[in-house]
Structure 1
Amino acid sequence: MKADNMIQFFFLCFFSVSVLNLSAAQSPIPSKYDGFVYRGGSPWKNSVIVDAFFDPMCPDSRDSWPPLKQALDFYQSRVSLLVHPFALPYHSNSFASCRALHIADNLNASSTYPLLELFFKYQESYYNAPTYNNSRAHITAKFSKIAEEAVGKGSYANILSGFSDSKTDMAARISFKYGCSRGVMGTPFFFVNGIPLPDYGSALDYSKWKSIIDPLFAEKK
């Protein structure tokens, strides 16, 4: 075969195998839509919906939260936020932290965002290097203690037992797979009304959020 034909042939083979793999491997369908709704309630009643994919152990996710929260406080009920936990594989403790968010949400839905903020607060203590010699059991115990601050005093045992529940493991996996299905490649990653924003992995400041959202309300009028 000529070089161009060879390239086309290999591309066709790769595409065919990818399609077969996608059709054969059906991702599990969760019992509810993925994500944690900021302030609770239904996000669908509002005109602007922001989907944010955060890794609790990612410094860029941490830095992006304050200006986004400021924008949400400004727009109040006119904008809804769904945070989807997305565990980056190169952050050693990310999956456990994402799983902790699901555990907390099951125990006390109002504790999910306070816990996310606590993970951002204590994040640097759980980077790869400081926890290199720590076991998984040690990390889950530490995360359970942090989560108790958000869920409520006396909830430690229930939080820790949540790490042995296969349902919380599956929930964290589904969140990751959902992000992959949307083409998420890093954190933070934002969608506004279903459209991905450019420059993923970077924190957006308050003025940038205003410049994105304000025109949407102007168009509606």
Structure 2
Amino acid sequence: MSLVYIEKIPSNLRTAFENTVKAICSDLGIKNPDWLMIVMWAESRLNPQARNPKGTATGLIQFLESTAKDLGTSTAALYKMNHVQQLPYVREYLKRRIKERGVPKDAYQLYFLVHFPIAFGKSDNTVLYSKGSTAYNSNPLDYNSDGVVTVAEVKLFLNKALPVGYDKTNLTTGSISSQTGRALLWILGISFFVATGYFIVRPDSWQALKGLIKDFFKQTIKVFK
């Protein structure tokens, strides 16, 4: 199934971008590639040339200059890259943060690895930054205007990045395709045991069973296309 916001990627780069995002998530143990798409949309609107006017943050996940240097590049070089060319740096960044903090269990924890790694795994009322700090001034997330930004407010910001009609529960569950796959396996297993009992009684109907199995796999293939 297509990833959320994939239509925002230029058509000539779309297939490569989608395949690479899925590969990154699979390699790093991120359950749902939609999570990474939503994180990149929240950070940059999926624009590799996006820049924060209040700092050095540049690109798909808003690499800081210090971060870019640590990854063996620079924000100036990242700015010149297209969507697909920046993804290896996204992958390397996430690989390092996951090694330090752990695999994110949901989209919120993935976002914290990008936005503010020390918030990873913290409770909703944890204060991340306060009025007057560079982080506070660069990220207008103090929704209740109390002078501090909490984990809960950053989660609210990520919720606001979802497209209209998008099921918010996907932020805390595996990919739709993987859920569908598990459901189909359960259905197949149950159907097998029911059908086995029936066809033992009706040996002449094994040919019909073959047809049913063939149709089942045809429909399964269509689901995953």
TM-score tier, shorter chain, comes to: under 0.3
Larger Rg: 2
Higher RCO, Cα 8 Å, sep 6+: 1
User: TM-score scaled by structure 1?
Assistant: 0.27
Which protein is richer in helix relative to its size? Answer: 2
Compute the TM-score of the two structures, normalised by the length of structure 2: 0.27
